[in-house]
Amino acid sequence: MTYIDNGSHSSFRIKGATGDWEIVVGLEVHAQVTAQSKLFSGAATAFGAQPNSQVSLVDAAMPGMLPVVNGECIRQAVRTGLALGAQIHKWSRFDRKNYFYADLPQGYQISQLYHPIVGEGTLEVETDDGIRSTVGIERIHLEQDAGKSVHDLHPTQSFVDLNRSGCALMEIVSKPDIRSPAEAGAYVAALRQLLRYVGSCDGNMDEGSMRADVNVSVRKPGDGFGTRTETKNVNSVRFIMQAVEVEAKRQVELIETGGTVVQETRLFDPNSGTTRSMRSKEDAHDYRYFPDPDLLPVEFDDAFVAECRASLPELPVAKRARYIETLGISAYNAGVLTADVETARYFEAVLADTGPALATAAANWLTSELFGVLKKLGVGIEASPVDPARAAALLGLIASGKISNSIGKQVLEAMVETGDEPAAIVAARGLEQVSDTGAIDAAIAAIIAANADKVDQYRAGKEALFGFFVGQTMKAMAGKANPGVVNERLKAALA
Amino acid sequence: MSVDDATVRKIARLARIGIAEAQVPALAGELSAILGWIEQLGEVDTTGIAPMTAVIPNHLAWRVDAITDGDKQAAVLANAPDATSGFFAVPKVIE
Amino acid sequence: MMSLTDLTIAGMKAGLANRDFTAVELTEAHLAAMAAARHLNAFITETPEIARAQAAAADAALAKGEAKALTGIPLGIKDLFCTKGVQTTAASKILEGFIPPYESTVSGNLFADGAVMLGKLNLDEFAMGSSNETSAYGKVISPWKAKNPDGTRSNRELVPGGSSGGSAAAVSARLVAGATGTDTGGSIRQPAAFVGIAGIKPTYGRCSRWGVVAFASSLDQAGPMARTVEDCAILLTSMCGYDAKDSTSLDLPVPDFAAALNADLRGKRIGVPREYRLDGMDPTIAALWDQGLEWLKAAGATIVDVSLPHTKYALPAYYIIAPAEASSNLARYDGVRYGLRVTPPGGNLADMYSATRAEGFGAEVKRRIMIGTYVLSAGFYDAYYTQAQKVRALIARDFERAWEVCDLLLTPTAPSAAFAFGEKSDLRADPLAMYLNDVFTVPSSLAGLPAMSVPAGLSADGLPLGLQIIGKPLDEAGVLGAGLAIERAAMFTARP
Ligand SMILES: [Mg+2]
Ligand SMILES: [Zn+2]
């Protein structure tokens, strides 16, 4: 693993006609705050409701309607800031960002330009090929989401649904520290992982709970920043990486063919894998921000910050380290088990029953056996047909020698089919492991008698045949014999 | 501060208020007169003065996070000039 | 016997309690007066059916001995307050036909106390004006006429002031017992003075703004307009109260202002801000001001000279802050969710916005939206808006310093009596003449202070003049007390 410090660390380059180009990326991630109701109204935030059914008169900007802030959204923003080791501003304020758009009922978005609730922080990032870097966080501010315009239901009209209008967003703004598409993807993945641990955003990108505005510029290594474009609302890690790459290449081509990059907002089209200028936003660049006179400054004390801090769970980096150092789990497995908060939760629930002694066994079983089952069923671990208690019971049976690893696989399959307790399955199907030497010796005697020739060859030195005898014995014992005992008794019988 | 015709057009555009070309000079004159009069604020020495944030000392109350509103599609759409199958309808937007 | 419409609210309450007359009789008398005075154009929407139903309910409550503070009292509601199921226009074409599915907190408070709504009162469009000439539903005419030198009445039509011009005209002409007004820079006090009635703007945050069509959020404040100080106190008590739906609402108990009324000013110090003595001030108004001070002295107060050094900058600061907030508050009128929509043939969304707002807004509203848009636009924000908010802080500080030496301030309400239509609205002549009307009322609005106008005398040509009392934050009781002292001393009995 190579450690590289902030900025101009990546060796990623775009090969242009005039030489190599470095790309500079900053991301504005919009993360929907996990809350029952909206930032300034009591309407529901659940995804997928009937159009305009989760809209209050405040969200619809009826005359005389006023915003009242949702305290939970403030709490979640502070918890997120703390998780990013960021400055928390105990005095912040909401501003109005004024522009006209069909899905912006007030004619302004309530946001925080001048005094955001969270200031500078950092996020540790690691790409798939193990390149680590630290990406600076510029700020996090709270703001309202806009509604949704549907353009394809009617030839000459767009339809507006305000269900989303007023939902709370955290805009998490990175510094322009990112230098490659891979790093951009890794940053968003790491941020998503952290938000899901904190519980301040479900990170559900296909439902739009997380979208990124991708700011890209290019420069010759060593030069100052170039003119950037902002590609709006890119909604998957893969698309973000694509958008960075294609937009950077477009800019390089443009510059190298004598053109100049204009600062503009663009749209990423996943189908064509290209970005294009967004006409509808062109003249929206004078937002006339000013403090929202319907609201007072947001103020809280150290005690509130302390409560928020106390409510934070163990975060991915710390958890992974603990798994390796105190549980003795391999670095690889520790990474897999902490990658998503749900997996870590499941793993720790299993350990709660088995005790830490079985940590390694549990880690191996989870990442191989259980993941195999989940993959086959195509479900996430939160929907696992085997709950942590039953998983722990199964691991216990294996560890205590009641059943062998191979029988364990059979039992797991049966558990998935029937949902029964593993012990019940083992009993009902008579799968207990046999260590009783009498039964084993009898089986061995029969095999020796039936294979006199092989016995002679073995005694003459053809030791490879030992495996044959083991196999025969296990077969005779229907796989339930304790392998250790079988080895020991065979050695004795063949000596 | 005198506002020229181009500025009047720009402001009207930002404010989404259509104005006939013939109105522009008159508007420029009116706005110039008003803004010229407002200019005198520049005389006031405000060094070290914080802009007013709350008219009367008061603190922002926080709402409890609960669903207390919404679920009133009919009321939301009742006054709409054009509503279709639960949506507000507007001239097509090209993004 | 004097007609029912001449009674004060206090008198009506007594008469109803006594069974001298019924709420239905009281309401019918006002509906008749309303019908007879339609030429004043005080109402945008009359609601006789609602009034009759509420009056019948009031009589039922009275019969059961369940009368509340305003049971059966016929009021007019400024058409800036959203009223459930009743068209609410803000006197703008852009809201024509808008039927709110909700009731503003303040009008709801009045109805919860038993009040009867006669209709929705005319105003300057979006409350932007000082003469009620900007309403899309026609100007409101003052019931008052000036006296000619020979003592005959002139037939020249006069403005009722604004923006609460319909409220002022209706109360003064005895079409309603009282009315709601809103005051952003003087919109309750100046029209009250122009038509010889009382009106109070309470401390910013006393009355909820929820459901009141917004003009300038940091300045808008509702308040009552009525013929006596006591009636204002009765209405104010019902209108005020903490509202969790308005983040700027004050979470404080509301005193019974009527019960607390006290004209005994012994121990009170009345400040006279010297900056309010403008050179070229109308001598009648200057004299009335001195007279007012004498009256307060007679009521036991001591008079002190105070200075509010930044007074001269209040109007320019106001004409940055109010239009800036308005330019944003009025952005929601875009023809998408309610009100007027104008789509030019083949027009796109932006064309629809521009056409809708061009046709839906009147000239003054457009002018203020454009000023507000300009002062907030890139590059000008700090020079205009931030500087104005700093000056506003200085103006508030001037008042705080004054409170170290006095308890209340006495000033004229307006620099002149009511004027004729067109006199100050000709922008070619002087774009600022109209704005200067609010010179005495704007500073207390910027500081969010309680202030009221009380009728105190007549101009040379027989038109009402008012005096303004300004108080410390939350001291509505003190303001009303001094108002009562002036009312009693002035014995203002003139009527249109
Ligand atoms: Mg952005
Ligand atoms: Zn944003």
> What's the ipTM?
0.97
pLDDT at A284: 56
Q: Which of A44, A149, A267 sits opposite B93 (nearest CB)?
A: A149
Q: Which of A258-262, A489-493, C163-167, C340-344 has the lowest mean pLDDT?
A: A489-493
Which residues of chain C make contact with B60, given a CB cutoff of 8 A?
A: 247
Q: Which residues pair with C398 in a beta bridge?
A: none
pLDDT at A431: 84
3-state secondary structure of A127: coil
3-state secondary structure of A446: helix
Q: Are C319 and C288 in contact (CB under 8 A)?
A: no
Residue C151 CB-density burial (10 A; 0-12 exposed, 13-18 middle, 19+ buried): exposed
As a whole number of Å, the end-to-end CA separation of chain C is 20
Across C204-219, average pLDDT: 98
pLDDT at C182: 98
**The one-letter amino acid at C416:** S
The HSE-up count of residue A391 (CA atoms within 13 Å, CB side) is 27
Chain B neighbours (≥3 Cβ pairs under 8 A) are A, C
Mean pLDDT of chain C: 96
Give A57 to chain C, closest Cα distance, Å. 9
C-beta neighbour count of C267 within 10 angstroms? 9
**CA C468 to chain CA mean position, Å:** 13
Residue C470 CB-density burial (10 A; 0-12 exposed, 13-18 middle, 19+ buried): buried
Query: Kind and range of the H or E element at A109?
Result: strand A108-111
Strands A229-234 and A210-219: antiparallel
The answer to whether C164 is a known catalytic residue is: no
The answer, for C245 touching chain A at a CB cutoff of 8 Å, is: yes
Positions of chain A with pLDDT under 70: 1-9, 279-284
Give C83 to chain A, closest Cα distance, Å. 11
Q: Is the dihedral of CA B77, B80, B85, B87 positive or negative?
A: negative
The answer to whether C187 is a known catalytic residue is: yes
pLDDT at C357: 98
Residue A491 CB-density burial (10 A; 0-12 exposed, 13-18 middle, 19+ buried): exposed
d(CA C200, CA C209): 16
The answer, for C377 touching chain A at a CB cutoff of 8 Å, is: yes
How many angstroms is it from A171 CA to the middle of ligand 1? Answer: 8
- Radius of gyration of chain C, Cα coordinates, nearest whole angstrom: 21
For residue C178, pLDDT beyond 50:
yes
Which residues of chain B make contact with C427, given a CB cutoff of 8 A?
A: 30
C-beta neighbour count of C258 within 10 angstroms? 21
Residues 54-83 of C with CB under 8 A from A: 81-82
Q: Is the dihedral of CA C288, C292, C293, C295 positive or negative?
A: positive
Q: Do C212 and A64 touch (CB under 8 A)?
A: yes
d(CA A220, CA A23): 9
Q: Do C374 and B35 touch (CB under 8 A)?
A: yes
The answer, for C352 touching chain A at a CB cutoff of 8 Å, is: no
d(CA C457, CA C377): 45
Q: Do C332 and A289 touch (CB under 8 A)?
A: no
Which residues of chain B make contact with C310, given a CB cutoff of 8 A?
A: 44
pLDDT at C428: 61
pLDDT at A6: 46
**Selected catalytic residue, list C104, C142, C163, C164:** C163
Chain C neighbours (≥3 Cβ pairs under 8 A) are A, B
Q: Which of A93-97, B17-21, C318-322, C435-439 has the lowest mean pLDDT?
A: C435-439
Q: What are the C-alpha distances in Å from A455 to residues A460, A476, A485?
A: 8, 17, 19
In B, minimum Cα distance to A93 occurs at B53
Q: Do A102 and B90 touch (CB under 8 A)?
A: yes
The answer, for C320 touching chain A at a CB cutoff of 8 Å, is: no
How many angstroms is it from A30 CA to the middle of ligand 1? Answer: 8
Across C270-278, average pLDDT: 96
pLDDT at C429: 62
In B, minimum Cα distance to C313 occurs at B41
Q: Do B70 and A56 touch (CB under 8 A)?
A: yes
How many angstroms is it from A48 CA to the middle of ligand 2? Answer: 22
User: Which residue in the block uniquely carries the two structure tokens 């009596």?
Assistant: C417
What are the residues whose beta carbons fall under 8 Å from the beta carbon of C235, sequence distance 6 or more? C9, C70, C75, C110, C178, C180, C224, C226
Confidence class for position C427, pLDDT limits 50, 70, 90: low
d(CA B3, CA B6): 8
Q: Do C393 and B8 touch (CB under 8 A)?
A: no
Q: What are the C-alpha distances in Å from A285 to residues A39, A309, C102, C324?
A: 25, 38, 35, 18
CB burial readout A285-312, b (16+ within 10 A) else e: ebbbbbbbbbbbebebeeebbeebeeee
3-state secondary structure of A419: coil
Confidence class for position C431, pLDDT limits 50, 70, 90: low
**Selected catalytic residue, list C13, C78, C120, C201:** C78
Residue B72, both tokens: 């009133």
How many angstroms is it from A60 CA to the middle of ligand 2? Answer: 19
Q: What are the C-alpha distances in Å from A386 to residues A329, A336, A405, A430, C322?
A: 22, 19, 17, 21, 64
Residues 202-231 of C with CB under 8 A from A: 209-214, 216-218
pLDDT at C456: 98
H helix and E strand count, chain B: 3, 2
d(CA A452, CA C95): 105
Q: Do B69 and A43 touch (CB under 8 A)?
A: yes
The answer, for B17 touching chain A at a CB cutoff of 8 Å, is: no
In C, minimum Cα distance to B17 occurs at C354
In A, minimum Cα distance to B95 occurs at A280
pLDDT at C327: 98
Q: Are A144 and A69 in contact (CB under 8 A)?
A: no
Rounded to 5 degrees, what angle do the CA atoms C385, A64, C324 make? Answer: 15
> Over pLDDT 90: what percentage of chain C?
95
Q: Are A425 and A418 in contact (CB under 8 A)?
A: yes
Residue C122, both tokens: 């005319």
Q: Which of A158-167, A282-291, C142-151, C461-470 has the lowest mean pLDDT?
A: A282-291
For residue B35, pLDDT beyond 50:
yes
The answer, for C84 touching chain B at a CB cutoff of 8 Å, is: no
Residue A428, both tokens: 């009902």
How many angstroms is it from A9 CA to the middle of ligand 1? Answer: 25
pLDDT at C458: 97
Q: Which of C190, C216, C188 is nearest to C202 (CA)?
A: C188
How many angstroms is it from A92 CA to the middle of ligand 1? Answer: 20
**The one-letter amino acid at A89:** H
d(CA C432, CA A252): 55
pLDDT at A4: 39
Q: Which of B8, B31, B79 sits opposite C99 (nearest CB)?
A: B79
What are the residues whose beta carbons fall under 8 Å from the beta carbon of C24, sequence distance 6 or more? C52, C55, C56, C59
In B, minimum Cα distance to A292 occurs at B53
d(CA A10, CA B63): 46
d(CA A175, CA A133): 13
